[in-house]
Chain A
Amino acid sequence: MRQLIRWMARLYPAGWRERYAAELDALIDDIQPKWQDLFNVLLGALRMRMATGSYLKIMAFAGLAGALVAGVGALLTEDRYVSTAVVRFTFAGLADSDRQGTLDRLRRMQQEVLSRKSLGELMTQSALDLYPEDRKRMPLEDVVENMRKGLRINLLEGPNWRATTFEISCMYPDKFKAQSVVREVMAKFVEQLNTTQRSQAPPAAVTLQLLDPANLPKQPIFPNRLVMVAVGLVCGAGLGLLAVLVRRSAARFFKSA
């Protein structure tokens, strides 16, 4: 950390460093450095540059600072992986009168799979143990709500009288768990389907076909660290220019007043 702060201190203007660098270095040796000291020195260097530097240098420096902050943010941001499976429900030999009822049952199955009870059970399965930290500090309802945001059941085809195709996807920081959740959701659909079929007389002719099994994602879908650093660079340069314009306009105004 000390070394990082020292590198950051090199961002001060050369004239300032000539006068104060040895003292600042001694101070960094004396303190118990913290993360906020790193940003404090970065901000101090930025302020000093704004007071003394040219527009181009300030923009370059502020852009670099923005990229650096965004880079640290990107490194601290947790990876998110998405696993996806595609499943088709086929309806065969149904009378016209049964078809609408079958589609309604399918919707109810989806609601049941995504219900608080179902997702709560899934989350606390010892093999999965999802969102353990969130579960310690938040009510289960809120954690389930977060889980729903990462769990998608999208309609790809239909619903029509012959077939309905769904894409089931789960986003989670652990790629193996993302895959396991999709498999478990699939299993819950099968379980629901079997229960529904058994309760029908005569049994509804609905079959479930797995078109694409849950994949194991290779790359995280989020964050895109390169884009984050680029955005930090552009925003930093823009903010630097804006800040120096405001600061110098204010200085001119007070001087003339």
Chain B
Amino acid sequence: MSDPTILVLSSLADGEKHGYAIMEDIQGFANVRLGPGTLYGAITRLEQRGWIRPVDSSDRRRPYRITGAGREHLEERLASLNQVVKTAMRRLKHA
């Protein structure tokens, strides 16, 4: 689970955050440190696809918010991932 776009969407799922807050949050829940280039690469792609949008701010630290489409995409990807996890766990138990 190291896809930066899914990590960023997961971070924004509980509310808006700016770049550094996203980075810290991901480090906390996934134990993955996204570099600045990777984080802003993911933010750029997510914004282009309409899955996140910037929140108006006069601060340099501009926060981002997940959109409805972004939430839908995240749910789809997590459901698919959940299916993989469940199958793998079941097989591990029976092995």
Contact = CB atoms under 8 A, between A and B. Distances in A.
A30 B21 CA distance: 10
Interface stretch (A19-27, A81-89, A198-206): A19-27
Given A25-B60, A26-B20, A26-B60, A20 B36 contact: no
B60 A41 contact: no
Contacts of A43: 37
A24 B40 contact: yes
A109 to B, nearest CB: 57
Contact of B37 (A22, A25, A44): A44
Interface residues of B, number: 17
B15 interface: no
B74 interface: no
Which residue, of A23, A27, A30, has the highest number of chain B Cβ atoms within 10 A?
A23
A74 interface: no
Contact of B35 (A16, A20, A23, A41): A41
B20 A48 contact: no
Main secondary structure of the interface of A (DSSP, over half): helix
Nearest to B61: A26
Which residue, of B18, B23, B40, has the highest number of chain A Cβ atoms within 10 A?
B40
Given A28-B36, A44-B36, A23 B41 contact: no
A102 B38 CA distance: 69
A40 interface: yes
Contact of A20 (B23, B40, B59): B40
Given A23-B18, A37-B37, A47-B41, 18 more contacts: A23-B40, A23-B60, A23-B61, A24-B19, A26-B18, A26-B60, A27-B39, A27-B40, A27-B61, A31-B23, A37-B36, A40-B36, A40-B37, A40-B38, A41-B36, A43-B37, A44-B41, A45-B37
Interface of A: 5, 16, 20, 22-28, 30-31, 36-37, 40-45, 47-48
7 contacts: A20-B44, A23-B19, A23-B62, A25-B60, A27-B39, A40-B38, A44-B35
